[in-house]
Amino acid sequence: MTKADIVDSLANEHELSKRQAGEIVDLILDEITAALKSGDKVQLIPFGSFVVRERKARTGRNPQTGETLKIAARRVPAFAPGKGLKDAIGGPKRGAKKAAGKKK
């Protein structure tokens, strides 16, 4: 699903023009971005939470040349799904194995 799909769905379900729906979606995304920029956590209960995590500085390697590079510390956005989202998706994990039973 893309941003355009969300705009179309919002416009159809709430009898809005696509322009109005697009402005609403943009406003929501701008607010989330501004909150994360200022270091705030954004909680959309029961959907999930957006947070900013700190990545430490580290060394990396250029795979083509093998040259060692220093990668600077940085802040990155992260998302943690909430219980409502997890429950809505439901079902066991793919490839999940059952626990072995007791041997007699």
The CATH number that applies at residue 41 is: 4.10.520.10
Task: Quote the number of domains for the chain.
Answer: 1
Q: Does residue 6 have a pLDDT over 70?
A: yes
The model's pLDDT over 43-102, given as tens digits with 9 standing for 90+, comes to: 999 999 999 999 999 999 999 999 999 999 999 999 999 999 999 998 666 665 666 666
Burial 17-44 (b: 16+ CB within 10 A, else e): eeeebbebbeeeeeeeeeebeeeeebee
Domain of 69 in residue numbering reads as 3-88
Across 25-42, average pLDDT: 97
Measure the CA dihedral 78/81/40/22, to 10°.
Answer: 90
The reply to whether 35 falls in a domain is yes
Indicate the SS3 state at residue 74: strand
The reply to whether 97 falls in a domain is no
The reply to whether 101 falls in a domain is no
User: How much is the pLDDT for 99?
Assistant: 61
- Cα–Cα distance list, 101 to 3, 55, 92, 97, 98 (Å): 47, 41, 19, 12, 9
Q: Does residue 103 have a pLDDT over 70?
A: no
